[in-house]
Chains A and B, each alone.
Chain A
Amino acid sequence: MTTLDVVRGTAARVADAVKIYGVGGTEVRALDHVTVEFPAGRFTAIMGPSGSGKSTLMHCAAGLDTLTAGSAWIGDAELGSLNDRRLTLLRRERIGFVFQAFNLVPTLTVRENITLPLDLAGAAPDQAWLESLIEVVGLGDRLQHRPSELSGGQQQRVAVARALAGRPQVVFADEPTGNLDSRTGTEVLGLLRRAVDEMGQAVVMVTHDPTAAGFADEALFLADGRLVDRMERPTAASVLDRMKAFERRRS
């Protein structure tokens, strides 16, 4: 695969994805025949109320969870056919993660946390890339600190740097601003935006915050496990309006 393919092609996609939790009377259909593509070099936001299936979609697309039916792909790799080990290797080589909380390993320094996926793979980091990344996230003077010595915003910036360090095919961010105040949240979202604009990184973000969705190139709306709408170049205001409209329709 050449860099060109990555830039122009599809970073990740799910086709006809179905995820069912429980059986019989307690059966919950978290995903109901969802088909969606996450293009390379684009920032996609997945929106939806609690229980809409947005987190499930992300977990399945990222290989953290398995689909009941349908298929999930990272680039040209179909995740359903991979065993746990190959899935793990694929995650560390081709996917970056940013979670809402508990993002860093407390016993490792900032620098060690950033290079963790590379170290796990036993791969030598690209020093030049690493330095520029550290400069972008603005943590050059904190590299030898432990996570417990950083603020929440700083911790999340380290997590973003870690997600980008291996230049993955796609970065999945699960409510990355959920535990942050609006100013530090904006900083983190700005970082993700720059990764897309300046590094051509594909980013998929799950959020219920319209302001966060305003940083994306496209917003997808999920409700009751179905893809119900999509919006190009969303803004915080337009997303909020759209969500209010859903609420009215539902009630």
Chain B
Amino acid sequence: MTSVTFRLSLRSLRAHKRRLAGTLLSILLGVSFLTGTMVLGDTLRANFDTLFADANAGTDVVVRSADVLDSPGSAGGVRAPVDVALADRLRTIPGVAAAEPSVQGAGQLVGSDGKPIGGQGPPTLAGNWLTDGRLNPYRLAEGRAPAAPGEVVINRGAAKTGGLYVGSTTVLRTPDPVPVTVVGIATFGANADGMGPSTFTAMTFTDAEHHLTPKGAGQASSIQVRAAGGISQRELADRIGPQLPSGVQAVTGAAATQESTQQLSGRFLSMFTTLLLVFAGIALLVATFTIHNTFAIVVAQRTRENALLRALGAVRGQVLGATLAEASAVGLLASLGGLLGGIGVAAGLKALFSTLGFALPTGGMVISAAAVLLPLLVGTLVAVGSALLPALRAGRTAPLAALREAGVDRAAQGRAGAVRVVLGGVLLAGGAPVAVLGATDGPSVLLTAGGALAVLAGTVVLGPVAAALAVRVLGAPLPGLRGVSGVLARRNAARNPRRTAATASALMIGVAVVTLFTVFGASIKATLDDTVSKSFAGDLAVTTASFGAGGSGISPKVADALAALPEVRQTVGLGRGVARIDGHGRTLDVTDPARLSGIVDLGRVDGSLDALGTDGLAVSRSEAQQNGWKLGQSVTVGFTDGASGPFTIRALYEGGTLAGDYLITRQAWAPHRVQDADTMVAVGLRGGVPLSVGKAAVTKALLPFGSPQVQDRAEYAKTAASGVDTMLSVVYALLALAVLIALLGIANTLTLAVHERTRELGLLRAVGQTRGQLRGMVRWESVLVAAFGTVGGLGLGAFLGWALVEASDSAGTGSFAIPPEQLVVVLLAGLLAGAVAGLRPAGRAARLDVLRAIATD
């Protein structure tokens, strides 16, 4: 590029600062979000890394079972325990300074107000107090270490939250309620309240063994080893390794730390950051439309100037280069701004997730080189890429155009070409059936997603063809409402269909994604609701209000205690366990199947649930079908303690119910379990007992168990669905950005349109259009464009939502639901936002000086 073209593009930048403000802002917002996502990911990873490193700081080697049991849908894996006696053997190995068995489990403290502490996300841990000061990451801040049964040390964070002090007595739910006395309060490391936001209760080793291990004695989760001076972690691990029994391994402390971080990154963090990146992508995609449109209009308006350059001898490349240089300057500038904004976004997102209940560890911001360079590159590329087509058009400007009247706003320019119709038609005609096929026959999410993308692309391509018609239809009531200003608003919105479509497309994509999630969420809720109402034949459900790794479940004694009440006909507890079935990790429901059938409707049952015994399983029909199992067949079940054996499938039942895909008896499970807990206890009341009476009786009976939640069927269904609402609110917050960028696009296009219609607007004012009428005209045009985008997005989103719901429902038991109220809210919000987007351009139009507008050069 020559210096002349560069100078020209800089001049034009400076001259049209306001025109490009919208472009600048949309890139800035998109890049902010992208940067924010990456910085947040880096920061969290680093924060967690520090946390785990601190936890293992004094541990040089961890001796543990080599076998990890994992199932899809369960957080982390489960390891078999190791023999406590191993610790004594390890101490005899030269180089071992200390070896101490460590028991780790779940235990939730009850605060002084009777409410459980934590349980909403971060883990609530319990274990033994390590007596070796270097192995133990906790330091006593007050009081002393536990020495007698029932004595515990708790972390300072838990003490603060629960209002507990040295000397307080409370209950630890393991989940069996264990009465404990706080004898000490500890900090994590030198001065932290805890290991991140998690809670920790430390007991004596005997207590920990008793409450947290299956056999109650002789077992530990792992053995922590400290090396004597001068021996490296690696050396010691190599020395210990050969001395261990089979199935037990020695890993270095550093490796264990890395493993913990990776486990978290691999599951929670990568899912989390992928989700955020998807939304950053949507925001940038929407920004692309806005930027493209701005440059298309600016180039059209500059036709005369570019033609003059060409007439004076500028070659195509120079005109093209000038436009692209302008775009890259805008892109780079906006991306730089976005980088700064992104750090703010990262901090804001972290705070947002905290307020929504996803507590994250604290720590400083970490900004990697990738988090700086990638958004910078992406932002600039998006700007240049979006401006490419308009720039090519600018390059093609004929020198003669300088002499002609610049008819920039002619409808003829926006006429949809035959190519467009054919291409869009093919994409739609090809994509829609593929999406439908993927949804109904199969079903296959991948097929549907491919079809959905084609439909989306087709809709965008066909936009200009549909725009004129759609605006005319949607704007039909306007002339009646607003007279000639309404007529003008409608015609103006339809006068350049390509521009209208490009403007509306941005909003359409945003609204389509919002609608997609709304429909998807409503369908999940409907499915959950359906599941509960179809399969839950009981009257009350006892659950704990917790999610994530926190909480400790319900004591298995609850079911029996409640069954003894005179008001209660029957109860059954449902627990969760992980086992390896024919080599694959699976989640099992541990229960008493015979009692279950009276309270949870399992549909048609083949075989008998009563006779599962200690070597039988019940499997859902769909799961059996997928694996090709038949009634009476034998499968191998491997447990967390390493034991495994053949189990016979004795019953098949309907899938998609409250019970999962596998049922096993408590008797079969008991010998292999780690910590016994129910996730839910279903209660059926005796005939004639009013619900309120039954509920009161059950609630009272639960007092000694730390008061888990008691809900009737409707409440239970609602709670089951409330997680969906939380998720949706996060998604909406993230999508608000894309919608905001789309609205900026509408405002920007209109501002440019007002600029190029200056004379026309001046004429209207001269012949008697009041400022109010003029403002109304521009605003209604904005509303029309927004209506086109919103209605299109609603239709597209509802279709894609349907396809996705059907496609992801492999069992065929889900329901599809369109929530009319929420979609009406989306529609109204879209229209209102259109009116808001039109405010500034309308104000500018109304402020036009009539005389300057109609002056003839």
Show the binding face of A for B, using Cβ within 8 Å: 59, 64-65, 84-85, 88-89, 91-93, 97, 99-108, 112, 116-117, 119-122, 148, 162, 175, 178
Q: Is the CB of B760 within 8 A of A97?
A: no
Does B768 lie within 8 Å of A105, measured CB to CB? no
Chain B residues contacting A112 (CB-CB under 8 Å) are 484, 487
Residues of the B chain whose Cβ atoms lie less than 8 Å from the Cβ of A121: 768
22 contacts between A and B (CB under 8 A): A59-B851, A64-B766, A85-B771, A88-B769, A89-B768, A89-B770, A91-B766, A91-B767, A92-B768, A92-B769, A99-B766, A99-B856, A102-B763, A105-B488, A107-B491, A107-B492, A117-B768, A120-B768, A120-B773, A121-B768, A148-B410, A162-B767
> Taking CB as reference atom, which chain B residue is nearest A86?
B770
B854 touches A120 (CB 8 A): no
Identify 15 new A-B residue pairs, CB closer than 8 A, beyond the known A100-B856, A106-B495.
A64-B766, A89-B768, A91-B767, A102-B854, A105-B760, A105-B764, A107-B491, A108-B488, A116-B484, A116-B764, A117-B768, A120-B485, A120-B768, A162-B767, A178-B856
Bound Cα distance A178, B855 (Å):
13
Task: Judge if B759 is at the interface, Cβ distance under 8 Å.
Answer: yes
Taking the closest CB of chain A, its distance from the CB of B106, in whole angstroms, is 70
Instruction: List chain B residues, Cβ under 8 A from A93.
Output: 768
Smallest CB–CB gap between A50 and chain B, Å?
12
Q: Give complex CA distance A104, B764 in Å.
A: 9
Cα–Cα distance between A84 and B773 once the two chains are bound (Å): 13
Tell me whether A103 and B768 are in contact (CB under 8 A).
no
Taking CB atoms, residues of chain B closer than 8 Å to A108 are 487-488, 491
A89 to B856 Cα, complex, angstroms: 24
Min CB–CB distance A54 → chain B (angstroms): 14
The number of chain B residues touching the other chain, given as a range, is: 20 to 34
Bound: A148/B495 CA distance, A: 13
Q: Please, how many angstroms separate the alpha-carbon atoms of A43 and B282 in the complex?
A: 64
- A102: nearest chain-B partner, CB-CB: B759
Task: Report chain B residues within 8 Å CB of A99.
Answer: 763, 766, 854, 856
For residues 466 through 516 of chain B, which have their beta carbon under 8 Å from a beta carbon of chain A? 483-485, 487-488, 491-492, 495
For residue B854, which residues in chain A have a CB less than 8 angstroms away from its CB?
A: 64, 99, 102
B766 touches A97 (CB 8 A): yes
Residue numbers of B with Cβ under 8 A of A are: 409-410, 483-485, 487-488, 491-492, 495, 759-760, 763-773, 850-851, 854, 856
Q: Which residue of chain B is the closest to A146 with respect to CB atoms?
A: B411
Q: Give min CB distance, A15 to chain B, whole Å.
A: 21
Instruction: Flag if A107 contacts B766 (CB, 8 Å).
Output: no
CA distance A84 to B771 in the complex (A): 8
Residue in A closest to B855 when the chains form the complex, CB atoms: A55
Which residues of the partner chain B approach A105 to less than 8 Å between Cβ atoms?
488, 760, 763-764
Q: Which of B484, B766, B772 contacts A119 (CB 8 A)?
A: B484
| Complex interface: chain A residues within 8 A of B770 (CB) | 85, 88-89, 120
Q: Which residues of B contact A122 (CB under 8 A)?
A: 483
> Which of chain A's residues have a CB closer than 8 A to the CB of B410?
148
B500 CB → nearest A CB, Å: 13
Q: State in angstroms the CA–CA spacing of A178 and B854 once bound together.
A: 14
Separation of A159 and B120 alpha carbons in the complex (Å): 73
What are the residues of chain A within 8 A of B850 when measuring CB–CB? 64
| CB-based nearest A residue for B773 | A120
- When distances are taken between beta carbons in the complex, the residues of chain B under 8 Å from A119 are 483-484, 487
- Least CB separation from B489: chain A residue: A107
Q: In the complex, what's the smallest C-beta–C-beta distance from B221 to chain A, in angstroms?
A: 77
Q: Which residue of A lies closest to B850 (CB)?
A: A64
B495 and A120: CB pair below 8 A? Answer: no
Q: Is the CB of A116 within 8 A of B851?
A: no
Would you give the shortest CB distance from B602 to chain A, in whole angstroms? 66
B771 touches A88 (CB 8 A): yes
CA distance A85 to B773 in the complex (A): 11
User: Which residues of B sit under 8 angstroms from A100, Cβ to Cβ?
Assistant: 856
Interface contact B484-A97, CB-CB below 8 Å: no
Which 8 residue pairs are nearest across A and B when measured between Cβ atoms?
Answer: A92-B768, A119-B484, A107-B491, A102-B759, A88-B770, A117-B768, A117-B767, A91-B768
Q: How far is the CA of A122 from the CA of B485 in the complex (A)?
A: 10
Partner of A120, one of B483, B760, B851, B856: B483
Pairwise interchain contact A88-B768, C-beta atoms closer than 8 A: yes
Q: Which residue of A lies closest to B846 (CB)?
A: A84
Chain A, residue nearest B479 (CB): A119
The minimal Cβ–Cβ distance linking B56 to chain A, given in whole angstroms, is 72
Q: Closest approach, in angstroms, between the C-beta of B497 and any C-beta of chain A?
A: 13
Shortest CB-to-CB span from B12 to chain A, Å, is: 25
Instruction: Report B-chain residues with C-beta under 8 Å of the C-beta of A89.
Output: 768, 770
- Interface contact A120-B769, CB-CB below 8 Å: yes
Closest to B765 in A: A88
Closest Cβ of chain A to B590, distance in Å, is 72
Other-chain contact of A101, B765, B769, B856 (Cβ < 8 Å) = B856
How many Å lie between the Cα of A104 and that of B492 in the bound state?
Answer: 14
Q: Give A101 to B855 CA distance when docked, in angstroms.
A: 9
CB neighbours (8 Å) of B488 from chain A are: 105, 107-108
* Bound-state Cα–Cα, A34 to B772, Å: 34
A122 CA / B482 CA spacing, docked (Å): 10
Most A C-beta atoms less than 10 A away, residue of B484, B487, B851: B484
A92 to B850, CA, bound (A): 14
Within the complex, the shortest CB–CB distance from A174 to chain B, in Å, comes to: 8
**Cα separation A84 to B764 with both chains bound (whole Å):** 14
Q: Nearest-CB distance from A154 to chain B (Å)?
A: 17
Which residue, of A84, A85, A89, A99, has the highest number of chain B Cβ atoms within 10 A? A99
Q: A102-B759, A105-B760, A120-B773 are in contact. Are A97 and B856 (CB under 8 A)?
A: no
Residue of B nearest to A162 (CB): B767
B319 to chain A, nearest CB (A): 27
Question: Is A92 in contact with B851, judged by CB distance below 8 angstroms?
Answer: no
B567 to chain A, nearest CB (A): 73
Residues of A within 8 A of B764 (CB): 105, 116, 120
CA distance A97 to B766 in the complex (A): 8
* Cβ of A224 to closest chain B Cβ, rounded Å: 21
The residue among B759, B766, B771 with the most chain A CB atoms within 10 A of its own CB is B766
- Taking the nearest CB of chain B, how far is it from the CB of A107, in angstroms? 4
Please report the C-alpha to C-alpha distance between residue A99 and residue B770 in the assembled complex, in whole angstroms: 19
Cβ-defined contact, A106 with B760, below 8 A: yes
Residue of B at shortest CB range from A119?
Answer: B484
How far does the Cβ of A70 sit from chain B's closest Cβ, in whole Å? 18
CA of A65 to CA of B773, assembled, Å: 20
**Interfacial chain A residues near B760, Cβ < 8 Å:** 102, 105-106
A178 neighbours in B (Cβ, 8 Å): 856
User: A59, A85, A120: which contacts B767 (Cβ < 8 A)?
Assistant: A120
Determine the chain A residues whose CB is within 8 A of the CB of B766 once the complex forms: 64, 91, 97, 99
The residues of B that contact A92 with a CB separation of less than 8 Å are 767-769
Among the interface residues B492, B765, B770, which one has the most CB atoms of the partner chain A within 10 A?
B770
Shortest Cβ distance from A85 into B: residue: B770
Chain A residues in 8 Å Cβ range of B771 = 84-85, 88
Nearest chain B CB to A163 CB, angstrom units: 8
Which one of B764, B765, B769 has the greatest number of beta carbons of chain A within 10 Å?
B769
- Taking the closest CB of chain B, its distance from the CB of A144, in whole angstroms, is 14
Is A64 touching B485 in the complex (CB atoms < 8 A)? no
B492 contact set on A, CB distance < 8 A: 107
Smallest Cβ distance from A119 to chain B, in angstroms? 4
> Which residues on the B side are within 8 Å of A175 (C-beta)?
856
| Neighbouring A residues of B491 by C-beta, 8 Å | 107-108
Q: How far is the CB of A96 from chain B (nearest CB, A)?
A: 8
Residue of B nearest to A175 (CB): B856
The answer to whether B487 touches A97 (Cβ under 8 A) is no
User: From B493, which residue of chain A is reached at the shortest CB distance?
Assistant: A107
Residues of B within 8 A of A91 (CB): 766-768
Instruction: Kindly report which residue of chain A lies nearest to residue B769, judged by CB atoms.
Output: A120
CB pair B851–A65 under 8 Å, yes or no, is yes
Distance, CA A85 to CA B851, complexed state (A): 16
Residues of A within 8 A of B767 (CB): 91-92, 97, 116-117, 120, 162
Most A-side CB within 10 Å, residue of B483, B495, B851, B854: B854
Q: Could you tell me the distance between the alpha carbons of A108 and B773 in the complex, rounded to whole angstroms?
A: 16
Question: Which residues in B have their C-beta under 8 angstroms from that of A103?
Answer: 763
